[in-house]
Structure 1
């Protein structure tokens, strides 16, 4: 695609990246075939190819309207289009640049500003988010139905974490939403890895990975959170920690991009690359371990929902299914497993109608094999799918933890 960025666009810090992505697109339209919002709405401008055209025009100096912003807002950032694209277009890079650019040009209505600002003020702060979650559980009967659906049906207590006792050591990103919505996930991870001779080190000064801010129209705040996490992890990195584990695939996808996003930061570029190189989704750790040592014999019939951030961003589709199968669990077939559930970070709150349609479509596919439990690898997907009140939805590591024999 030929493109000629406006003088204003050329001043953007990532102008060269935007131009490179635009020029790699050949308008084939294969991306629309797997775009969830295009499938629902049937509008060219609500598919990747149309959105690329909109961002091209915007960056070339065409008038920018609220309608353009709406079409970009409706994108889930699922990156399904990238898995489909034969030209390797890095659509998510262009979308990050385009959204940041338009945010500076088009003022949002007051209601949208309050919602997005409120999410950024609450979600990335684990202590505050957990406190509000607990208050919501107490007040659940009096809350509106839509808000009730956002709260976990049953937040299992974390249980005891094993002591740090093994020579093999890894860091774990605790996350911001997961401690409130699913406190048992990271504790279950620690127990399973302990059986494999791996100790997880706590890093209390590390916080939100930064994705909520970065993808919520506050990119500078997101990068500041990335820098704080790098600072918190760096002593352990220098001491030779084996990996930095993420149990939420959305966080993992973002941490793996620290090296790219901070490549021009003279103080953090090298550290960010090192941290990204050490970042591992939990399944990357388990799939390389001798799982027979766990002595697990799975009896449940499971349906696995593969989050977009796992299969499209991290390219780990099929990995969790492989681990669960090795452990003896029965997996039901899931039609259209490449499609998004509609969670997409804060998307289920900013685009609730589309998110509900996508959720119900995914649940229909996941339940078609009549599983006992639906499992997933991302807290956002877990909460969003479970909010329908149908088949229970849990993190896959909890199922393994519960199947462990007594120590």
Structure 2
């Protein structure tokens, strides 16, 4: 991971041109210079030159979504992704959080990176949703008064279905073309199990043996993107160990894939793990990225539906994967794909952002929901569980509902000949 002493050079790469401004979600919302990438870089420079980290400075850094849209738009190649990760780590070390902030952050990081703990919530959460108690709780506004973060967590949580465990190996259909490892994730595994099942089936139908290591855990993405570097390194080491021995690791959650591709930087200071981390990062592929590289073999059947494709920030900006999901969707007969306006602007999910900054996240979610609604699509396609929950929750606030699916689920329905009903009933 970039060391603090390297910050001055990275900071000086910024020429303050302003190309980042119209792509920065918080600048778009508030028009405040210190809530733009170049404004935050100015604050980073002040801190690097000896200015103590003030609560105001920490607030501007906390307000950043880490969406990396500025990295895409920057003509000078400023590595804002590295700058904000180092700065977040400094904030966590130097900025005293309030008791309430410590409690919420402690709960989030004690829960979300641990699939077994998430699994324990599935039954109670399902019963809570089905009983209608959720609607009663929201009408009272009680959670909002106790903690906006708790209220956001309650609104975002989906009603999880059954989660059958994937076998440790799914055999290729027909001649084997590749052997791939598959990350099952945390939230993806426990709240969107259908995405993982669809991913494994699609890979198998395209001729891949799919290895699903039983002892894999959290990849560390949430920790890495929140300044918890030591915690992220521990998760990264475990992930590296779990996937050694496979040629390619396929990931179906944008934030996870982005983090795993950064392992070389994260573990660069650890001689025992640096080379292994670099090797894993080089073998990591987003599902859409891998399938386009592999090329189609299985027959595509029609899925007559109109979908809106959402660019997850850690897929489009952090990994540069934009054309591949669209190419896969375009290969499905009968499918009409509509573009969402302002695709570069984050939906407000951003890992844990919608829990720690619920007001700003809500505004961004509303903007994205309006743009999704304007497409007239009957189905939203997204490649990150946080985005799916965020946009679906924003639409519910408007009194609207839309079916949400992952690219893998569209492909699965097409390859198995399930048609439109195969995705609209997910």
TM-score (norm 1): 0.91
Contact 2:169 2:212 in 1 (8 A): no
Q: CA deviation at 1:379?
A: 0.7
SS at match of 1:331: strand
Report matched runs for 1:232-243 at 5 Å.
232-234=242-244, 236=245, 241-243=246-248
8 Å CA contact 2:198, 2:409 repeated in 1: yes
Q: SS of 2:294's equivalent?
A: coil
Find 2:11's aligned residue among 11, 22, 47.
22
Residue 95 (structure 1) aligned with residue 84 (structure 2):
yes
> Which structure 1 residue ranges, 4+ long, deviate > 4 Å from structure 2?
156-163
SS at 2:156's partner residue?
Answer: coil
Matches within 5 A, 1:302-317: 302-317=307-322
Give the Cα–Cα distance (whole angstroms) in 2 for the partners of residues 164 and 348 of structure 1: 35
Deviates more, 1:341-350 or 1:139-148: 139-148
Question: Aligned in 2, Cα 1:290/1:13: closer, same or farther, shift over 3 Å?
Answer: closer
The verdict on how the C-alpha distance between 1:315 and 1:225 changes in structure 2, with shifts beyond 3 A counting, is: same
1:398 matched residue in structure 2: 409
Q: How many residues align?
A: 391
List aligned pairs for 1:181-260, cutoff 5 A: 181-234=191-244, 236=245, 241-260=246-265
Relative to structure 1, the CA distance from residue 272 to residue 201 in structure 2 (aligned partners, 3 Å threshold; closer, same or farther) is same
Distance (Å, rounded) in 1 between the aligned partners of 2:170 and 2:402: 36
- Name the residue aligned to 2:272: 267
Q: CA deviation at 1:292?
A: 5.2
Q: Specify the SS of the correspondent of 1:104.
A: helix
| Mapped partners of 1:32, 1:51: distance in 2 | 12
- Specify the alignment match of 1:170 in structure 2: 180
1:42 aligns with 2:53: no
Shift of 1:250: 0.6
Cα 1:162/1:122, change in 2 over 3 Å: closer
CA displacement at 1:161 relative to structure 2: 6.5
Aligned match for 2:331, one of 305, 319, 326: 326
1:207-265 Cα distance to aligned partner (Å, 9 max, x none) = 1110112223321011110011111222x2xxxx2310100011000000001211221
- Name the residue aligned to 1:137: 126
Q: Is the 8 A contact 1:153 1:387 kept in 2?
A: no
Q: 1:372 aligned to 2:378?
A: yes
The Cα of 1:395 is off from its aligned counterpart by 1.2
**Residue aligned with 1:27, SS:** coil
Tell me if 1:344 matches 2:361. no
* CA-to-aligned-CA distance 1:253-286 (integer Å, 9 cap, x gap): 0000001211221000110110000000000111
Change in CA separation of 1:293 and 1:73 when aligned onto 2, cut-off 3 Å:
same
Q: SS at the partner of 1:301?
A: strand
- Alignment partner, residue 353 of structure 1: 359
Match of 1:109 among 87, 91, 98: 98
Does the 8 A contact of 1:152 with 1:386 survive in 2? no
| Pair 1:60–1:356, CA change in 2 (3 A) | same
Q: 1:278 to 1:160 in 2, by over 3 A?
A: closer
Query: 1:162–1:194: 8 Å Cα contact kept in structure 2?
Result: no
TM-score, normalised to structure 2, is 0.87
Report the aligned-residue RMSD.
2.0
Change (3 A) 1:307 1:156: farther
SS at match of 2:285: strand
**What is the CA-CA distance between 1:326 and the residue it aligns to?**
1.5
Q: Which moved more, 1:165-174 or 1:348-357?
A: 165-174
* Alignment gaps of 5+ in structure 2: 139-150, 419-426
Q: In 2, distance between residues paired with 1:216 and 1:89?
A: 20
- Equivalent position of 2:305 in the other structure: 300
- Partner residue, 1:4: none
**How big is the shift at 1:156?**
6.5
User: 1:29-81 CA distances to partner (integer Å, 9 max, x unpaired)?
Assistant: 11112101001011111110110011110111113211111110010000000
1:62-101 alignment, distance < 5 Å: 62-101=51-90
Distance in 1 separating the partners of 2:166 and 2:227? 38
Aligned mates of 1:200, 1:100 — CA distance in 2:
36
Three-state SS of the structure 2 residue aligned to 1:364 is helix
Q: Deviations over 1:157-185 (max 9, x none)?
A: 55977963344210011101111210111
- Partner of 2:374, secondary structure, is helix
